[in-house]
Every structure is written in structure tokens, then in C-alpha cells.
Structure 1
Amino acid sequence: MKLSVVIPAYNEQDSIPETLRSLHQTLTREGIEHEIFVTNDNSKDNTLQVLQQLSLEIPTLHFETNKGPNGFGYAVRYGLERFSGDCVAVMMADMSDDPEDLVRFYRKMQETDADAVFGSRWVKGGKVIDYPALKKTINRVANLIIRVMIGIKYNDTTNAFKLYKRETIEGIKPFLSPHFNLTVELPLKAYVRGYSFEIVPNSWTNRKYGESKLKIKEMGSRYFFILLYCMIEKFFSRGDYLKKKTAQNATVSR
């Protein structure tokens, strides 16, 4: 099972070398066939030049520049339309996500044949390092609201770090979110449309270089829009978008 890793990158010249080297070394050591797909989101610094140099030492690295429209959601969507693997993970370029956790996600998918594997920083075994206090408070409140309104038994929906089968990604299209609210759209659509998921603890470490691209005050209404969209689909779509049953399951159910 080939693993693709989609990484959006905007002005990440300082962070991305360590991120990509660590990711490639870990996946290679574990014998995992993989592709690293970086979307250079029209960076204004030297991110493109850094990627060009890194491609000379990392044979599984593929990168393209998204000329626009730009934004976190558009950058991730660019990669999700072009990856070549049987499954795909979304990771950050700033080394906040641990490649060792990705290995655990991948092994869990192999073991369980789940349609998706979701990371959680807030279950036993998960941890956060240098997580800003205000951001943590907003995170926990937002995830509580999502759990109550959607009914999902999962406490870290806003965490972008997740792994999906190719069939799952195809089944939750079309994508709507141009911004960070894509991190909520992907797992909630997977849940609402009947795709199975496993939860694996993961860690999160605050970035060493640069500054976060997430502007909390700009995202509230956008997250709420996606939440309402998924609620409407869950309660009023009459199952039109549910995961298609396999021929084997259909036979068993008759």
C-alpha cells in the first residue's frame, strides 16, 4: 500500500528541510513505499529554491507550485487532486507533526482496513509541546461544539494530521473549504458519509521557525459554515452521499 503525504508550504524555507528529511528517513527506515507531495503555495521567500535542492537528495519528493487561488485549504486540495498513493496523509511543513506518528497511522490502517485514521492529541498517549494557552482553550471549546452538534465520538476534529484511503478522499468530494476549515471538512464528511475510522494518539510540537498561518479571529465563521453544512448533509440528505456498499457486503445484506 503506497503512502502519499501531502504537505502545504507557504514561506517555510527554514522549517521544511528538517520536516522532509525526517519524514523521508523515517518512512524509508520502516520500508514504507511512499511519495512526499509538497504544494508550494506561491511562497514569497526561498521555499521553492529549498525544495529544488531537497529534491536532489530525497528521491520520493515531488513538489509543485500552486499559482492560485492560494490559501491553506487550496494548497491541501491541490495535493489531494494529484497524489499517487493508495492512501494519503495531510501533514504540516513546520515539523509540528511527528513522522513516527504517521507510521503508527499507516500500520493501524493496514491492521484494521479502516477508511481513515485520525490522530488525537487529547487521548491517553497523545501530547502537546509548547501549545499556546489561548489556542488550547479555543481548540477544546470548538471540538466540544463539533462533538455535540455532529455526534462524532472523537475529540480532535480540528487536528489536520489524518490519514485517508484514496477511496475515502474520492468519496468526500467535492471540497468546499479554501482555508483552515478544510481540516474540519475532511473528517466530518468522512464520518457523515459512513466511512470508518480509527483513532491513534499523536503528538504536536509548536513550530521552531516563522509564525503560524492560522488566524483564529478570521476562522470562526468559516468553521461554523462547514459544521452547519455537514449537519445539514447528515440530517437531511437522506443517505444520498453515504459510502457505497461493496458487492460482498451487498450480498451478505440480502
Structure 2
Amino acid sequence: MKLSVVIPAYNEEESIPETLKSLYETLSFHAIDHEICVVNDNSKDRTEAVLQELQQEIPTLVYFTNKGPNGFGYAVRYGLERFSGDCVAVMMADMSDDPNDLVKFYQKMLAENVDAVFGSRFAKGGKVIDYPPLKLYINRVANLIIRLLTGIKYNDTTNAFKLYKRETIEGIKPFLSPHFNLTVELPLKAFVRGYTFAIVPNSWTNRKYGESKLKIKEMGSRYFFILLYCMIEKSFSRGDYMKKNHKK
């Protein structure tokens, strides 16, 4: 089963070399057939030039430049329309996600034949390193609200680091979120539409270089919108969007 990894990148010239080299070395060590798909989100620094240089070292690296509209969600969606694998993971460009965790996700999907694998930084065995206290507090409150309102038995929905089968990605389209709320839209739609998932603990490490692109003040209403959308679909769609072999 070929694995694709979609990585959105905006002004990540400092982080991207270490991220991609580590990812390639880890997947190659485990003999996992893969491609690394970086979406350069119209960066203003040398991100594209660095990607061109890295292609000489990393044979499985492909990159696309998203000319616009731009934003985290748009960049991920750009990659999700262009990957070639049988399954696809979304990872960050800033080295916050561990490639060894991705190997665990992939092996879990193969072993249990689930439609998706969700990482949890807050399950037993998961961990966070240098997580900003305010963001951590908001994260836990937001995830609690999501669990209470949707009934999903998962405590890290806002975690972007997840793995989906190609059929799952096709089944949860169309995508609505242009920003970081896409991280909530993808798993909640998979849950609401009856796709199976497993949860694997993962680690998260704060970035070494640059600044986080997530702006908390801008995201509250956007997260709420997509949460409300998924709740409405769950309650009123009469299963019209459910996975075929999960119809009630």
C-alpha cells in the first residue's frame, strides 16, 4: 500500500530540510513505498528553492506551489487533490510531528484495515514537548467540547497529524475549510459518515524555527462553524453521506 504524505509549507525554509530528510530516511528504513508531497503555499522566502535543492537528495519528493487562494486549509486541500498513494497522511513542515509515529499509523492501518488512523498527543503513550500553556488550555477545552457535542470517543480531534485511506478522503468530500479548521473537518466528517478509525498515541514538539501560523483569535468562529456543520449532518442528513457498507 503506497503511502503519500501531504505537508503544507509557508515560509519554512529553515524547518523543511530537516523535516523532509528525517521523514524520507525513516520511511525508507522501514521499506515503506511512499511519496512526500509538499505544498508550497506561495511562500515569500526561499522555501521553493530549498525544495528544488532537496529533490536532488530525496527521490520520493514532489512539490506543488499553490498560487492561491492561500492558507493552511487551502494548501492541504491542494495536496489532497494531487497525491498518488493508496493512503495519505497530513503532517506539519515544522518538525513537530515524528516520522516514527507515522510508521506506527501506517502499520496500524495495515494490521486492522481501518479507514483512518488518528494520532492522539493526550492518550496513554502520547506526549507534548514545549507546548505553549495558553494554547494547551484552549486545546483541551476545545477537544472536550467536540467530544461532548459529537459523541466521538477521541480526545485530540484538533491534531492535524492523521492518516486516511484514499477512499476515505474521497468519501468525506467536498471540503469546506480554508484554514486550520480543516484539521477538525476531516476527522469529524469521517466519524459522522461512518468510517472506521483507530487511535495511536503520538508525540508533538514545538517548532525550532519561525512562527506558528495558527492564530487563536481568528480560529474560534471557524472551528465552531465546522463543528456545527458536522453536527447538523449527523443529526439531519438521514445517512445520505454515510459510507456505503455502514448504512443504518
The separation in 1 between residues aligned to 2:235 and 2:245, in whole angstroms, is 20
Instruction: Give the structure-2-normalised TM-score.
Output: 0.99
The separation in 1 between residues aligned to 2:220 and 2:238, in whole angstroms, is 28
Correspondence 1:1-254 to 2 at 5 A: 1-245=1-245
The separation in 1 between residues aligned to 2:233 and 2:81, in whole angstroms, is 23
The separation in 1 between residues aligned to 2:63 and 2:239, in whole angstroms, is 37
Q: Deviations over 1:83-114 (max 9, x none)?
A: 00000000000000000000000000000000
Three-state SS of the structure 1 residue aligned to 2:178 is coil
Q: Deviations over 1:225-253 (max 9, x none)?
A: 0000000000000000000129xxx9xx9
Q: Could you tell me how far 1:200 is from its partner in structure 2?
A: 0.1
Q: Deviations over 1:188-247 (max 9, x none)?
A: 00000000000000000000000000000000000000000000000000000000129x
Amino acid of the structure 2 residue aligned with 1:54: L
Q: Could you tell me how far 1:182 is from its partner in structure 2?
A: 0.1
Three-state SS of the structure 1 residue aligned to 2:244 is coil
The separation in 2 between residues aligned to 1:244 and 1:179, in whole angstroms, is 29
The separation in 2 between residues aligned to 1:191 and 1:177, in whole angstroms, is 17
The separation in 2 between residues aligned to 1:133 and 1:50, in whole angstroms, is 33
Amino acid of the structure 2 residue aligned with 1:7: I
Amino acid of the structure 1 residue aligned with 2:172: I
The separation in 2 between residues aligned to 1:182 and 1:149, in whole angstroms, is 18
Find runs of 4+ consecutive structure 1 residues off by over 2 angstroms: none
The separation in 2 between residues aligned to 1:150 and 1:98, in whole angstroms, is 29
Gaps of 5+ in 2: none
Amino acid of the structure 1 residue aligned with 2:33: E
State the number of aligned residues. Answer: 248
Instruction: Give the structure-1-normalised TM-score.
Output: 0.97
Amino acid of the structure 2 residue aligned with 1:157: T
The separation in 2 between residues aligned to 1:132 and 1:184, in whole angstroms, is 20
Three-state SS of the structure 1 residue aligned to 2:94 is coil
Q: Let me know the Cα RMSD of the aligned residues.
A: 1.1
Three-state SS of the structure 2 residue aligned to 1:245 is helix
The separation in 1 between residues aligned to 2:121 and 2:245, in whole angstroms, is 32
The separation in 2 between residues aligned to 1:10 and 1:244, in whole angstroms, is 37
Three-state SS of the structure 1 residue aligned to 2:245 is coil
Three-state SS of the structure 1 residue aligned to 2:138 is helix
The separation in 2 between residues aligned to 1:191 and 1:36, in whole angstroms, is 26
Q: Could you tell me how far 1:137 is from its partner in structure 2?
A: 0.2
